[in-house]
């Protein structure tokens, strides 16, 4: 099980460590640093590293490494999922998760970690329960606590901890009862040079913000549930009911949570909202290259497309870009070689376009870049 | 008002200041001080000096302060055991607190203080807490047992905590059950005996399955993992368990999904593969696996490593999902490489076009490692899917045209493999390859190119010039390249002897005189001698036909794969190694897949036997017999002296084996060529002038178990009689990728009661690509059962990989005993006594012996001549022999001078041995 946790910042300092069993020297992180040096970017560090005595399982979130140390055979996914949960909890508590935030709230962080894991076994990871045990910090409460002498730590057992619905606490009361559902769909498509779709799939999520009193029992039905190729639910969803009737029936947790995520695979036809007309030519004459990209809407069902961002990872030999856009701004990071063009809204009458020259390192072999777009 | 202020104190005398604050009367001040202490602790400062002062703050009703003090205690109790005792009282008191939160906190913290003296006091409170009325306390206590076991395992066993823990498995609260399961499996993991603490019964499994639906996601992981260790009693139970687990596949937590996949994959083994249930389950498994690939990259990586195993075990599950494994531009490199691997595994005729066009794109990517692997993947595609070979080759040629150095080199390495797989098909591209000769700087690419030149020397006009150009820098080359160059030039010489003599002499002298590398020298000498003694033989050896390379060389071995399937979702599945290979101090219980309920009758054996009758016939009873034999333990007392290997054959075999491996290298194939083994032994015999014909006739070794049936183990052998003792001479060749060890042999009951007289002595471990000889003395005292044909012997050979079964024929002459000489009168009487219908007549054709040499030849093989007559110009020989089981056989031979055909009349009380005896005569007289 999880033995220890080290949180490491991008410059390679271990600024937080927590041990759930005996203390493991932070020198174990040296193995991690070895791999870090070898990797070309922080994302490329392998998530599972074997060392002579320990196994380091890490995730990279918010430009920090969360490195868990294990000594026995464990399920790596269990550790990875748990680490992500830790970061999610921090984000939930402090609204963002950065090095400075963690340092600022180190006591809460320490208490949280202690509450989430006992001897390497997860104890309480539901944010509802944690929030009952340890109140999230906010200015109002800090002032109130100083005045009244109360603390952030609750002295009673959270009500939801042992019930059959551990995700919801009892006695929730709202004056305004409201429930919001956010549908998020990500289209992942690979389109070849000629513009035809190689493969396209949809990864969708339903995120909820539910503020209802008491113990509400909700049902959500879909017009065409057959579309879903695969679904995974929050534990609150009654699976039996879904299997038999294709209806989501659940008692929701209080507050924000992800109700469901689904996947629509490559077999179904996926409508792609934009098209890209591109011409990219590296090494035209001497050490230069040309780039010309136009975006246009496609199958939008009458809606306008907003917040379009285009990202192109350039080959290593690209030194700089001199581009002109007719809309939005572009940036080029010479370190990560990433060209980002924030287009904004697509206006059908005047299609957004970016064009210009690219300067290349001389003498490097010609390579092609694979432009890819990210629409949000 | 944030916590960061605790970090800012940098004044001198910090400890002193904290001390006074800790002793402050005001609660609020105290708390602030403890927070400061904890802050220093987290960043690694030593604040152990404050131990007594902090412990003094423990007696408080403020829960936050209590928790902070507990945090401090956990960290420092170890270094200050005596002081830690001070805290015990408070702990014991807290364990009786009316607030369950405090009770649980106390028992939890006590478990974390790893001080022996404290653990003594822990027992009583822990016992109470395990029976606490509040489930929260019970579940915390369950984990505490695991903690205590880690500190002092004997105490846990003595105090009966394990039994209490097992009782918790039937607790009414699912969370308690889950934690008890987790604690038990952790204790199991660390216990030295390694044997499972809890016998899984159908009742416990039922309870676990009930708890599974209601406990937290983490609890589900623990429960599923322990369910995976259970073997259902029958198909029905396996199926119903699977049905209850399937809903877990839709869980949002990837760990739950993968653990569920593990249990399903394991239990599916038990179900008949053609059943409807398995088909529907296979369909249900695909979508969750695909969904795992849209989560965080770390999850994807672990999922992909597991999918790699699943695809090898059950290719059906994901065969339609090729597209999800296409690489995304922003995947981390470790995800990209794994996806590439799986793409190749899934490549088939149906989707190969798509895969190829993807791979071609990847080969123009930026990342060098990835590009290399992509090029390699194209080559593997060509080898795997024959129909695509043409397209793959043209794709590779396109890539070579890009002139990107590492792409070209990688392409040449894989083209070499394609040549091996499809000889005489794509040689037209050689000229293109030769153009890139100068740019190659990596040893592997150079060696591959040299191999190609040597192999096709007759078609490359300037092959000698090309090789000569390599030879100039011979001394600076990598040894791999040197060896290859040596072989290539010898090949060239054998193909074009006229104009390359100088070159070959040059390379031989470079290899044998100027090199420090023993491999190179030895190979040089062998070639030299071969060439100087018998160029024809050299040709046969060096230019021998190479065995085709297998398309699935990168697959895991089936037994390892099965074991890893049992470890899906664990670290083992990520490393693709069994846990015993990397987890320290782990008692080696190796998991294995449950056998199908209809084992044997529809197993692999039966299908194989249809393909090749040499491998055991498909008889249920027979396999039953073999399976029930105790293969593992030696059933015969070990013989003190190793079996003596007297002469000729054994020594020759030894050399044969050595040359065999050597030739394996020279032909640069991943597996040594098996076809060469026999011929090379004979060749060496010629070269070294060893007496080829030995006194006793020894049948040449025949292959009894080909490598593809023996899971990589190739066995050939023969039966010999030496000094009145029957021996089974065996050659074991390991053609798998892993060393083999733990060899044992067993025979089935047979017609002559043959059984091993001593345990099998064979080099162990046997490294990959190596052949080892073994001589097994045999006794004839075993159980007898008549076989059809009579001389059939069914053998089971066991090693660490598997148990292999094969059948071989015992040549009858090996069974002729030394005291087979019959008295003349007895012979006559017996001859008359045996009824005429027992007489069998054969003709032995083409014998080049006179009557005298026949007599001496047969005598050497324990066939004794009783009398000799000359009737009408014909030589009549009367001979007798006795078999190991006491059966006498009387023979009459008619030999006509000048006529190469001999008539043999056999008489025996058991006429069914006649065929075998005739075979023996035939072999001996032609041997």
User: How do residues B563-606 score in pLDDT, each as one tens digit?
Assistant: 888 888 888 888 888 877 766 554 445 666 666 544 434 333 33
Inter-chain contact B329–A313, Cβ cutoff 8 Å? yes
Both tokens of residue A303?
Answer: 């809606």
The pLDDT tens digits of the residues spanning B633-659 come to: 333 333 333 333 333 333 333 333 334
Nearest to A119 among B146, B328, B354 (CB): B146
Query: What DSSP letter does each residue of B519-564 carry, written as one string?
Result: HHHHHHHHHHHHHHH-HHHHHHHHTPPPPPPPTTTTSPPHHHHHHH
Cβ within 8 Å, pair B175-A153: no
Residue B72, token pair as written in the block: 């401090």
**Residue positions counted in chain A:** 376
- Of B270-284, B534-548, B684-698, the poorest mean pLDDT is in B684-698
pLDDT band at B665 (very low <50, low <70, confident <90, very high): very low
- The pLDDT value recorded for residue A62 is 87
**Alpha-carbon torsion, ordered B572, B577, B583, B584, to 10 deg:** 180
- Does residue B666 surpass a pLDDT of 70? no
Alpha-carbon distance B252 to nearest alpha carbon in chain A (angstroms): 5
Least confident of A144-158, B378-392, B608-622: B608-622
Cα dihedral value B9, B13, B17, B23, nearest 10:
140
Instruction: With beta carbons less than 8 A apart as the criterion, state whether B489 and B503 touch.
Output: yes
SS3 A342: strand
- Per-residue pLDDT, B188: 81
Please give the pLDDT value at position B192: 63
Question: Residue A162 and residue B298: Cβ atoms within 8 Å?
Answer: no
Question: Which chain A residue is nearest to residue B336, measuring alpha carbons?
Answer: A44
Closest CB to B143 among A81, A119, A266: A119
User: pLDDT band at residue B682, thresholds of 50, 70 and 90?
Assistant: very low
Instruction: Give the residue on A whose Cα is nearest the Cα of B581.
Output: A73
Residue A169: per-residue pLDDT = 73
A263–B294 C-beta distance less than 8 A: yes
When pLDDT is averaged across residues B494-504 and rounded to a whole number, the result is 85
User: DSSP letters of B212-260?
Assistant: HHHS-HHHHHHHHHHHTT---SSHHHHHHHHHHHGGGGGBS-HHHHHHH
* Residue A69: per-residue pLDDT: 92
- Which pLDDT tens digit goes with each residue over B281-295? 888 898 889 888 888
Mutate to test the interface with B, among A40, A121, A280 (most CBs of B within 10 A): A121
Which of A48, A125, A367 is closest, CB to CB, to B574? A48
- Comparing alpha-carbon positions, the chain A residue that sits nearest to B253 is A81
What pLDDT, in 10s, does the model give residues B41-98? 776 677 888 888 888 887 777 777 888 888 888 878 777 777 777 788 888 888 888 8
Contact B35 A107 (CB under 8 A): yes
Separation between Cα atoms, residue B705 and residue B721, nearest integer Å: 22
pLDDT of the residue at B432: 83
From CA B446, how far away is CA B881, in angstroms rounded?
Answer: 63
- Does pLDDT of B474 surpass 60? yes
In this prediction, residue B388 carries a pLDDT of: 85
Partner-chain residue, chosen from A73, A153, A239, that has the shortest CB–CB distance to B67 = A153
pLDDT at position B260 is 93
- Do A268 and A212 contact (CB within 8 A), yes or no? no
- Identify whether the C-beta of residue B196 lies closer than 8 Å to the C-beta of residue B151: no
**pLDDT on residue B694:** 44
Contact check, Cβ <8 Å, A235/B217: yes
> Residue B616: what pLDDT?
36
Q: A157 and B258 in contact by Cβ < 8 A?
A: no
Buried b (16+ CB within 10 A) or exposed e, A319-333: bebebebebbebebe
pLDDT in tens, B716-727: 888 888 877 888
Taking only the tens place, the pLDDT of each residue in B763-791 is 777 877 778 888 888 888 877 877 777 78
CB contact under 8 A, B404 and A365: yes
- Among B485, B503, B407, B418, smallest CA distance to B447 is for B485
Chain A residues with CB under 8 Å of B183 CB are 121
Chain A residues whose beta carbon lies within 8 Å of the beta carbon of residue B40: none
**Cα-Cα end-to-end distance for chain A:** 39
CA distance B384 to chain A (A): 23
The least confident of A160-169, B10-19, B496-505, B617-626 is B617-626
Between chains, do A81 and B299 touch, taking CB under 8 Å as contact?
Answer: yes
The CA angle A73-A77-A80, to the nearest 5 degrees, is: 105
- What 8-state DSSP symbol labels residue B459? G
Query: Which among A44, A192, A199 is the nearest to B334, CB-wise?
Result: A44
Q: Which residue has the higher pLDDT, B143 or B114?
A: B143
Share of chain A above pLDDT 90, in %: 7
pTM over 0.90: no
Residue B686 has pLDDT above 50, yes or no: no
Sheet arrangement for strand A318-325: A274-281, A288-297, A353-360, A318-325
With a pLDDT cut of 70, the percent of chain B lying above it is 84
Report the alpha-carbon distance of residue A295 to residue A176 in Å, rounded.
Answer: 44
% of chain B residues with pLDDT over 90: 4
Strand order in the sheet with B725-734: B702-705, B713-722, B725-734, B771-779, B755-756
Residue A82: predicted pLDDT: 92
pLDDT at A372: 57
């Amino acid at each position: 099980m999880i033995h220890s946790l080290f949180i490491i910042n991008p410059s390679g300092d271990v600024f937080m460590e927590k041990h759930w069993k005996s203390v493991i020297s932070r020198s174990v992180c040296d193995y991690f640093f070895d791999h870090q040096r070898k990797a070309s970017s922080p994302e490329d560090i392998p998530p599972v590293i074997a060392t002579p005595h320990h196994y380091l399982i890490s995730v990279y979130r918010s430009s920090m490494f969360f490195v868990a140390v294990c000594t026995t055979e464990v399920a790596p996914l269990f550790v990875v999922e748990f680490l992500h949960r830790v970061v999610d909890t921090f984000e939930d508590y402090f609204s963002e998760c950065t090095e400075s935030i963690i340092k600022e709230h180190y006591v809460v962080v320490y208490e949280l970690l202690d509450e989430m894991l006992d001897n390497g076994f997860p104890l309480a990871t539901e944010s509802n329960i944690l929030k009952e045990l340890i109140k999230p910090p906010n200015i109002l409460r800090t002032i109130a606590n100083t005045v009244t002498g109360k603390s952030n730590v609750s002295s009673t057992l959270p009500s939801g901890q042992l019930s059959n619905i551990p995700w919801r606490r009892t006695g929730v009361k709202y004056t305004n009862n409201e429930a919001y559902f956010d549908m998020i769909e990500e289209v992942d498509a690979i389109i070849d040079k000629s513009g035809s779709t190689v493969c396209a799939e949809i990864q969708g999520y339903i995120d909820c913000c539910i503020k209802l009193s008491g113990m509400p029992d909700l049902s959500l039905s879909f017009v065409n549930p057959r579309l879903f190729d695969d679904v995974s639910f929050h534990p609150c969803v009654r699976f039996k009911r879904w299997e038999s009737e294709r209806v989501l029936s659940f008692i929701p947790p209080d507050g924000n949570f992800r109700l469901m995520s689904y996947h629509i695979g490559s077999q179904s036809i996926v409508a792609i909202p934009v098209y890209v007309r591109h011409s990219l030519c590296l090494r035209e004459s001497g050490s230069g290259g040309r780039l010309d990209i136009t975006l246009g809407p496609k199958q939008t069902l009458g809606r306008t497309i907003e917040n379009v961002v285009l990202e192109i990872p350039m080959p290593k030999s690209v030194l700089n870009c001199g581009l002109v856009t007719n809309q939005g701004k572009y940036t080029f990071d010479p370190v990560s070689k990433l060209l980002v063009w924030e287009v904004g809204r697509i206006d059908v009458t005047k299609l957004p376009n970016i064009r210009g020259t690219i300067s290349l390192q001389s003498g490097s072999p010609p390579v092609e870049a694979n432009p890819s777009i990210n629409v949000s | 008002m944030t916590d960061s202020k605790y970090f800012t104190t940098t004044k001198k005398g910090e400890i002193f200041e904290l001390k006074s604050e800790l002793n402050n009367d005001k609660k609020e001040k105290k708390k602030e001080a403890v927070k400061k202490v904890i802050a220093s602790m987290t960043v690694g400062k030593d604040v152990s000096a404050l131990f007594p002062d902090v412990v003094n703050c423990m007696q408080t009703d403020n829960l936050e302060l209590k928790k902070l003090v507990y945090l401090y205690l956990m960290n420092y109790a170890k270094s200050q055991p005596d002081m830690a005792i001070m805290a015990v009282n408070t702990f014991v008191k807290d364990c009786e607190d009316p607030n369950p939160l405090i009770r649980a906190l106390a028992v939890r913290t006590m478990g974390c203080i790893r001080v022996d003296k404290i653990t003594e006091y822990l027992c009583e409170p822990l016992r109470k807490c395990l029976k606490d009325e509040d489930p929260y306390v019970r579940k915390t206590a369950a984990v505490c047992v695991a903690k205590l076991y880690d500190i002092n395992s004997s105490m846990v066993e003595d105090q009966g905590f394990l039994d209490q823990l097992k009782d918790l498995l039937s607790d009414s609260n699912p969370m308690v059950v889950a934690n008890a399961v987790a604690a038990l499996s952790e204790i199991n993991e660390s216990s030295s005996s390694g044997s499972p603490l809890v016998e899984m019964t159908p009742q416990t499994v039922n309870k676990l399955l009930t708890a599974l639906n209601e406990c937290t996601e983490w609890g589900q992981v623990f429960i599923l993992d322990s369910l995976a260790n259970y073997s259902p009693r029958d198909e029905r139970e396996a199926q119903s368990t699977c049905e209850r687990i399937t809903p877990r596949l839709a869980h949002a937590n990837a760990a739950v999904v993968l653990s569920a996949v593990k249990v399903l994959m394991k239990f599916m083994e038990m179900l008949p593969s053609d059943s409807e249930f398995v088909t529907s389950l296979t369909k249900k498994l695909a979508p969750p696996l695909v969904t795992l690939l849209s989560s965080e990259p770390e999850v994807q990586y672990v999922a992909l490593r597991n999918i790699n195993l699943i695809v090898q075990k059950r290719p059906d599950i994901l065969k339609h999902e090729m597209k999800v494994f296409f690489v995304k531009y922003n995947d981390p490199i470790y995800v990209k490489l794994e996806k590439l691997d799986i793409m190749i595994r899934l490549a088939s005729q149906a989707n190969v076009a798509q895969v190829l066009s993807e791979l071609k794109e990847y080969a123009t990517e930026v990342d060098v490692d990835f590009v290399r692997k992509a090029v390699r993947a194209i080559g593997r595609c060509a080898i795997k899917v024959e129909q695509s070979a043409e397209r793959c080759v043209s794709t590779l040629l396109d890539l070579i045209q890009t002139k990107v150095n590492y792409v070209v080199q990688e392409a040449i390495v894989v083209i070499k493999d394609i040549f091996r797989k499809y000889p005489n098909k794509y040689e037209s591209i050689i000229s293109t390859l030769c153009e890139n000769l100068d740019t190659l700087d990596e040893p592997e690419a150079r060696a591959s190119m040299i191999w190609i030149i040597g192999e096709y020397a007759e078609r490359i006009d300037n092959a000698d010039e090309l090789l000569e150009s390599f030879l100039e820098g011979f001394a600076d080359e990598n040894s791999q390249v040197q060896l290859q160059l040596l072989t290539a030039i010898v090949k060239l010489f054998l193909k074009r002897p006229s104009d390359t003599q100088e070159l070959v002499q040059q390379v031989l002298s470079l290899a044998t005189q100027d090199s420090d590398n023993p491999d190179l020298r030895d190979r040089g000498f062998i070639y030299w001698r071969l060439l100087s003694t018998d160029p024809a033989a050299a040709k046969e050896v060096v230019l021998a036909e190479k065995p085709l390379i297998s398309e699935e060389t990168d697959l895991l071995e089936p037994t390892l794969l099965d074991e890893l399937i049992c470890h899906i979702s664990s670290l083992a599945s990520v490393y693709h190694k069994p846990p015993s290979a990397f987890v320290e101090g782990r008692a080696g219980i190796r998991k294995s897949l449950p056998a199908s309920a209809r084992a044997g009758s529809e197993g692999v054996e039966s299908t194989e036997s249809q393909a090749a009758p040499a491998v055991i016939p498909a008889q249920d009873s027979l396999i039953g017999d073999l399976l029930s034999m105790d293969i593992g333990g030696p059933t015969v007392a070990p013989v003190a002296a190793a079996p003596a290997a007297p002469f000729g054959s054994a020594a020759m075999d030894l050399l044969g084996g050595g040359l065999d491996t050597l030739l394996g290298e020279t032909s640069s194939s991943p597996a040594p060529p098996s076809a060469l083994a026999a011929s090379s032994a004979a060749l060496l015999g010629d070269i070294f002038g060893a007496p080829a014909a030995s006194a006793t006739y020894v049948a040449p070794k025949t292959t009894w178990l080909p490598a593809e049936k023996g899971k990589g183990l190739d066995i050939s052998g023969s039966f010999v009689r030496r000094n009145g003792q029957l021996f089974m001479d065996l050659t074991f060749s390991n053609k798998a990728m892993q060393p083999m060890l733990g060899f044992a042999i067993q025979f089935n009951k047979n017609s002559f009661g043959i059984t091993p007289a001593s345990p099998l002595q064979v080099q162990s471990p046997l490294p990959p690509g190596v052949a080892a000889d073994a001589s097994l003395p045999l006794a004839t005292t075993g159980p007898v059962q008549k076989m059809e044909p009579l001389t059939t012997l069914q053998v089971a050979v066991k090693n660490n990989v598997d148990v292999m079964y094969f059948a071989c024929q015992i040549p009858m002459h090996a069974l002729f005993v030394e005291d087979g000489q019959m008295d003349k009168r007895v012979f006559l009487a017996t001859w008359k006594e045996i009824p005429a219908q027992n007489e069998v007549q054969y003709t032995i054709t083409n014998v080049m012996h006179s009557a005298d040499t026949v007599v001496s030849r047969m005598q050497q093989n324990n066939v004794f001549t009783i009398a000799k007559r000359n009737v009408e110009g014909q030589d009549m020989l009367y001979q007798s022999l006795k078999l190991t089981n006491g059966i006498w056989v009387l023979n009459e031979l008619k030999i006509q001078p000048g006529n190469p055909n001999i008539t043999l009349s056999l008489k025996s009380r058991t006429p069914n041995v006649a065929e075998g005896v005739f075979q023996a005569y035939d072999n001996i007289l032609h041997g």
